[in-house]
Amino acid sequence: MAHKTLCPYCGVGCGLEASPPAVPGKATNRDKEGRPIWKVMGDKSHPSSLGKVCVKGATISESLDKNRLKTPMMRESLDEPFRQVTWDEALKRIVGKIKTTRLVQGPHSICMYGSGQFQTEDYYIAQKLLKGCLKTNNFDANSRLCMSSAVSGYIQSLGSDGPPCCYDDLELTDCAFLIGTNTAECHPIIFNRLRVYHKKNKDVKLIVVDPRKTQTAEAADLHLAIKPGTDIDLMNGIAHLLHQWGLIDSVFIDEQTTGFVDYAQVIESYPPELVARNCGISVEDLQQAARWWGESKRVLSLWSMGLNQSSEGTAKNRTLINLHLMTGNIGKPGAGPFSLTGQPNAMGGREAGGLAHILPGYRLVKNEQHRREVEKFWGLTPGSINPQPGLSAWEMIQGLEQDRVGVLWIAATNPAVSMPDLERTKAALLRSPFTIYQDAYYPTETAEFAHVLLPAAQWSEKTGTMTNSERRVTLCPAFRPAPGSARADWEIFAEVGRRLGFEQQFDFADSEAVRNEFIQLTAHRPCEQRGITYEILRKEGPRQWPCAEGGEPQPRMYTDLRFNTPDGRARFAAFHSRGLAEPPDGEYPFVLTVGRLYGHWHTLTRTGRIDKIQKMHPEATIEVHPYDAEKLGITEGMMVEVRSRRGWCRFPAKITKNITKGTVFAPMHWGAMWGDRTEANMLTHPEACPTSGQPELKACAVRLIPVTPE
Ligand code: SF4
């Protein structure tokens, strides 16, 4: 029997069907080494992906049995080897350490760094443990590095988080505006859908904004290869022309928004000649983009880390949303600002309160009424939840540097590869007095910094729900046993909660009971999900929120043109760009931009163990424009040392006109385990958006030094 589930890689959230290796009367499915493996195919009945699947989803089962952490392990100090222990020993040590650290250093010395790989149930129980019972908001997730600027942008412009669009809009739009997203490689199934529709409909326009000529840009009618960091100039320049030409929706602006007058004044100072010069594009291309925006009845924008990973990430998100508001492109089919999530359940994390400034049900830590609602629901005394946001991802690193962190609990993520400024990150991790690392795999780069290792069950081994980028919730059942004594993340958090004395708060029979509790906290909230129970998901299949109890799922938000602000109107906000936090200069004359490759995922924890993907992308390279290569004497394949103010790497050169002059590109996947000095985040810096706390991983200043063979 095939089991229906969800791909555990990216936020597209494709439906999968997994069949067991051995079916009576049929040949056993085996990998190239002859090991029996589960056969995985696209689920044709899943409405988000309609049976399509990319190489990552198709090969997921090959990673399941390799290098798994099967039992808890411990050591007293980092220079000792790990020794195998029982769960009881490991949990006793963790609980003892949490108790004494809280007593000596206070509740805010406890931190948890989680992951968009969590199921929503894992996220929810972690919030209850940290924010409710342990009285610290120091829970953050790797989503902070991925899409927290989109969260801030939506909240500030529209009154609450939540991408308002759905994938059907890809086939209903007149103009798709893709900025800061290499969708063809990073969200391939979404892009295929858009590409097929675009090819069939000659009048539909596809605009791609990216300093690189990616596979996404190659499919575009118009590729705007702007200089890194000039996104706000470009979007204000488009707004200037729309306003000048009268291609705006005055009725929508008057009736559904506030702040347009101030915004209109700011965009006045973005004439096309100035914008084109700043962005490094032609005036004609800028005008073409503005004309397509203004003359299309339905404009859909897509973006991901190219806008979000910026020291002005929230401003970039809001500047893009401004374009939708001034042209009335929201709340209707084929139109809207649609941010794409990187992780498979980053959306579920947002719903369950899985960042340091939010609480379950799209509530805010800073909002007193929200805190009281959650405390009451959790059976805690008023005042239990701290009114201040906790430490964000990078602030935890700073907390370690300042000896403010006593217990660091890392789960389902690999910060020793994915954080910016890795030298500094690793030095901070070394200072941690007590680190718990909970993961499915061992070894990983982060495990090197742990005192306790806890084996986690993963995809196919635990039951829970995940929400994809179009707000669609899928039930992901367990259909294989977890290896050794590995447990679901939420079960581990709940067990620690009970051992800390919160028996009532963590008395759950199973993950269905966890979801049943969580969805009550979404009642009458923008992410309402009481109509999305396990029972309904089993019967009806994946469902989109908002969906009230007994109600129908809503494919789009804001169809009534009422936003989640107190007066129901969306907010314009005007921004001038500050440019890159670390612009190139005489000493470091190039801008390094980092990104992802089609086959690999994050820090190679899974895909590094899949032969087909390793063959597809055997090594990290650095992309250099031929003009720059010639000036520096770099030839194809030559080893190039890349230096920033923080560290250095070495990559073979890939000389290509697909990158703009003065910019170089390296993939971010490779950690210390997988290559020699190919950790791109050795070079990046942690300067973050002051509103979202998302670091500017996308751009830093570097210099290139060709390495002459000895
Ligand atoms: Fe998985 Fe994303 Fe590929 Fe779909 S597009 S199969 S969700 S990695």
Q: What pLDDT digit, counting tens, does each position of 196-238 carry? A: 999 999 999 999 999 999 999 999 999 999 999 999 999 999 9
Q: Which residue has the tokens 């969260």?
A: 151
What does DSSP say about strands 205-209 and 472-476: parallel, antiparallel, or unpaired? Answer: unpaired
Let me know whether 386 and 308 are in one domain. Answer: no
What is the best residue among 187, 600, 607 to mutate for testing ligand 1's pocket, by most ligand atoms within 8 Å of CB? 187
Let me know whether 684 and 618 are in one domain. Answer: yes
Let me know whether 438 and 333 are in one domain. Answer: no
Domain total for the chain?
4
Instruction: With cut-offs at 50, 70 and 90, classify the pLDDT of residue 675.
Output: confident
Q: Which residue has the tokens 């010395």?
A: 109
Let me know whether 386 and 477 are in one domain. Answer: yes
pLDDT on residue 120: 98
Ligand 1, residue 57: give the atom nearest the CA. Answer: 6
Q: How far apart are CA 353 and CA 18, in angstroms?
A: 31
Cα 571 to chain center, whole Å?
A: 25
What average pLDDT does this structure show over 615-636? 97
Residue 324: other Cβ atoms inside 10 A? 26
Query: The domain containing residue 639 runs over which residues?
Result: 590-706
**pLDDT one-digit tens code per residue, 3-37:** 999 999 999 999 999 998 887 777 888 877 777 78
| CATH value at residue 635 | 2.40.40.20
The reply to whether ligand 1 has any atom less than 6 angstroms from the CB of 162 is no
In a domain, 572, yes or no: no
pLDDT on residue 45: 97
In a domain, 112, yes or no: yes
In a domain, 530, yes or no: no
Let me know whether 354 and 464 are in one domain. Answer: yes
| CATH value at residue 52 | 2.20.25.90
Let me know whether 49 and 102 are in one domain. Answer: no
What average pLDDT does this structure show over 48-61? 96
Let me know whether 137 and 104 are in one domain. Answer: yes
Does the pLDDT value for residue 627 go beyond 90? yes
In a domain, 501, yes or no: yes
pLDDT on residue 494: 98
**pLDDT one-digit tens code per residue, 243-302:** 999 999 999 999 999 999 999 999 999 999 999 999 999 999 999 999 999 999 999 999
Residue 441, strand partner residues: 68
- For the entire predicted model, the pTM comes to 0.96
Of 38, 65, 92, which marks where a domain is finished?
65
In a domain, 585, yes or no: no
Q: How far apart are CA 414 and CA 276, in angstroms?
A: 40
What average pLDDT does this structure show over 374-385? 96
The reply to whether ligand 1 has any atom less than 6 angstroms from the CB of 195 is no
Let me know whether 183 and 120 are in one domain. Answer: no
Q: How far is the CA of 656 from the centre of ligand 1 (A)?
A: 27
H helices, E strands: number in the chain: 24, 28
The reply to whether ligand 1 has any atom less than 6 angstroms from the CB of 613 is no
Let me know whether 159 and 218 are in one domain. Answer: yes
> ipTM above 0.90?
yes
Let me know whether 667 and 699 are in one domain. Answer: yes
In a domain, 319, yes or no: yes
**pLDDT one-digit tens code per residue, 385-405:** 999 999 999 999 999 999 999
Let me know whether 352 and 439 are in one domain. Answer: yes
Of 11, 46, 65, which marks where a domain is finished?
65
What is the best residue among 7, 52, 60 to mutate for testing ligand 1's pocket, by most ligand atoms within 8 Å of CB? 7
Of 521, 548, 575, which marks where a domain is finished?
521
In a domain, 534, yes or no: no
| CATH value at residue 437 | 3.40.50.740
Let me know whether 596 and 480 are in one domain. Answer: no
Mean pLDDT of the chain: 96
| CATH value at residue 232 | 3.40.228.10
What is the best residue among 9, 46, 347 to mutate for testing ligand 1's pocket, by most ligand atoms within 8 Å of CB? 9
Q: How far apart are CA 77 and CA 75, in angstroms?
A: 6
In a domain, 554, yes or no: no
